[in-house]
Amino acid sequence: MRLTVIGTGYLGAVHAACMAEVGHDVLGVDVDQAKISALAEGRAPFFEPGFPEVLARNLENGRLRFSTSPAEAAAFGDVHFVCVGTPQTPGSHAADLRYVDAAVQGLAPHLRPGALIVGKSTVPVGTAARLASGLDADLAWNPEFLREGFAVEDTLRPDRLVVGVTSPRAEAVLREVYATMLDAGTPWVSTDLATAELVKVAANSFLATKISFINAMAEICEATGADVPTLAEAIGYDARIGRRFLRAGVGFGGGCLPKDIRAFRHRASELGLEESVRFLGEVDAINLRRRSRAVSLARELVGGSFAGTGVAVLGATFKPDSDDIRDSPALAVANAIRAEGARVTVHDPQGVDNARAAFPELDYSPSAQKACEGAHVVLHLTEWAEYRQLDPAAIAEVVAAPALVDGRNALDAAAWRAAGWTVRALGRQ
């Protein structure tokens, strides 16, 4: 099939390359010339394991091309996937829909007869119906559940496919698009537009709630001498609860969970349903409190004031195996400590360029050990695998004081203590 993918950020670029990988002819379109040039030359504009290989293979075999022209996109595709961002609106919790609106408006006047527009962006419930009402083409909604760091795997082997459609024909077209995944036995959920939109925000709200639940337990553990990783393990053996997404620490960040729960609350209140998801405000508040807790643990370790201290922060991205720093708990903590008078040096295996561009006032170091030189406290805030390989004895020799906050409960606290470190962690002693 001939597919276009409008918006070549994280979601769109991976979707475009993976649709080519399963045999479709794909045109990726974006207004950002630099991004399109990079992709067309086989350079990934972001760090995502496995993506450069899929990109290169499909550029080479000719099934994947890139363009900046909406008219070319409209003329090319039988199916147009809208994969543009829906960021949080500055000064509000609402999702900013201007890119979605512009993408659909850009296509509309040039569409070929019979073309299908398929939204993949995360949108407030009701958006698809609004877009469809002014459109002389069929529109469907097909939310995306890929995780950064596993984006290619999640796209090629999704755990479910959800499509909101208003015609049997739209469903048939989407079944053809995803034939490879359907043949592999992927569950297929076909529903109306509103349900499809809600599935996405409900899934992310549930995940955020699960993380904040365990982080609330961490607060109780801290006050009572209990141990949250053990508690998570023990409740997680109950298959109804499950072990995944129960890692307590500095909480969730990124371009999805925080803004999605806020946009959901905003939409619910527009609908007069504020009470139904009021708990998501609590989920958000618990999450943000964990960042403050990491700061206060570090402050205690430096003797009550950061003024004039050196602080090392290991990790800048919102999670490992990504270079994405959007709403990163690690950088929020780093900035809060710097605001209290410390000299903060940040290390990250992939996120330093993005972090430096956003926060030039922080110091950056090319190696974890160098970042720790002269530090009065080290904070481990993104659980990159390389930090678990660090030698606590070697780091102890370069710091000003061997004090560690493990904000992700991912380091071997016993090994660090054995090397002379004072270790504090979230939700445990």
Q: Which of 18, 221, 256, 372 is catalytic?
A: 256
Compare residues 309 and 322 and give the one whose CB is closer to ligand UGA. 322
**Binder of ligand UGA out of 85, 164, 254, 315 (CB under 6 A):** 254
Compare residues 163 and 399 and give the one whose CB is closer to ligand UGA. 163
Beta bridge partners of 189: 162
Compare residues 166 and 209 and give the one whose CB is closer to ligand UGA. 209
Question: Is 83 annotated in the active site?
Answer: no
293 contributes a contact to ligand UGA by CB under 6 A? no
**Binder of ligand UGA out of 38, 118, 196, 211 (CB under 6 A):** 211
Chain mean position to CA 363: 24
Compare residues 11 and 132 and give the one whose CB is closer to ligand UGA. 11
CB of 94 to ligand UGA, least distance (A): 17
CB of 358 to ligand UGA, least distance (A): 16
- Burial level of 367, CB count in 10 A (0-12/13-18/19+)? exposed
**Binder of ligand UGA out of 26, 82, 257, 313 (CB under 6 A):** 257
**Binder of ligand UGA out of 204, 309, 345, 354 (CB under 6 A):** 204
279 contributes a contact to ligand UGA by CB under 6 A? no
CB of 400 to ligand UGA, least distance (A): 29
349 contributes a contact to ligand UGA by CB under 6 A? no
289 contributes a contact to ligand UGA by CB under 6 A? no
CB of 106 to ligand UGA, least distance (A): 23
**Binder of ligand UGA out of 318, 359, 384, 387 (CB under 6 A):** 318
**Binder of ligand UGA out of 21, 148, 323, 406 (CB under 6 A):** 148
Q: State the sign of the Cα–Cα–Cα–Cα dihedral 393, 398, 402, 404.
A: negative
Binders of ligand UGA among 113-132, rule CB under 6 A?
Answer: 122
Residues with active-site annotation: 256
Site residues (vs ligand UGA, CB under 6 A): 122, 144-148, 204, 207, 211, 245-247, 249, 251-254, 256-257, 318-319
